[in-house]
Structure 1
């Protein structure tokens, strides 16, 4: 019984520092993960804003074109009808 008590005493003396170390590692992991998510969201928002700006530019350009100009531009992308 004394052997068991002394063994348990040694184990518990290591459990607290090990628990603290595990908590620190887990905290760093989850902090890095949440930071990475925020960075990815910011990068995606930037890409979306750039795409919207580009689309508006194209829409404005098409709006300012005449019917013949639009037909010529579309002819580059469409197959021949006949």
Structure 2
């Protein structure tokens, strides 16, 4: 009986160490995942900002053009056979 008790105490120590190691690994994984998510969100925000600036530049350029210039610029995108 004493042998089983000694074995159980030894096994209990190993299980506690293994549990602690798994908890540390899970913490590191979740920290890395949240850090990656923040990086992806920041990258998407930068891309959105660039797209907004580009769109604003195009809108400003079109506003500065006359209607004939706008028609001529859009004619190349029309599918009515006139090119």
In 1: Cα distance, 2:6 partner to 2:19 partner:
20
Deviation at 1:4, TM superposition (A): 2.8
4+ residue runs of structure 1 moved beyond 2 angstroms? 1-4
Deviation at 1:6, TM superposition (A): 2.4
Runs of 5+ consecutive residues of structure 2 not aligned to the other structure: none
Structure 1: distance between partners of 2:80 and 2:22: 67
Q: Deviations over 1:20-54 (max 9, x none)?
A: 21111111100000000000000000000000000
Q: Give the TM-score normalised by the residue count of structure 2.
A: 0.89
Report how many residues are paired. 82
Query: What is the distance in 1 between the residues matched to 2:48 and 2:57?
Result: 14
Q: Per-residue deviation at 1:7?
A: 2.2
After alignment, is 65-74 or 1-10 more displaced?
A: 1-10
Q: CA RMSD in A?
A: 1.5
Secondary structure of the structure 1 residue equivalent to 2:26: helix
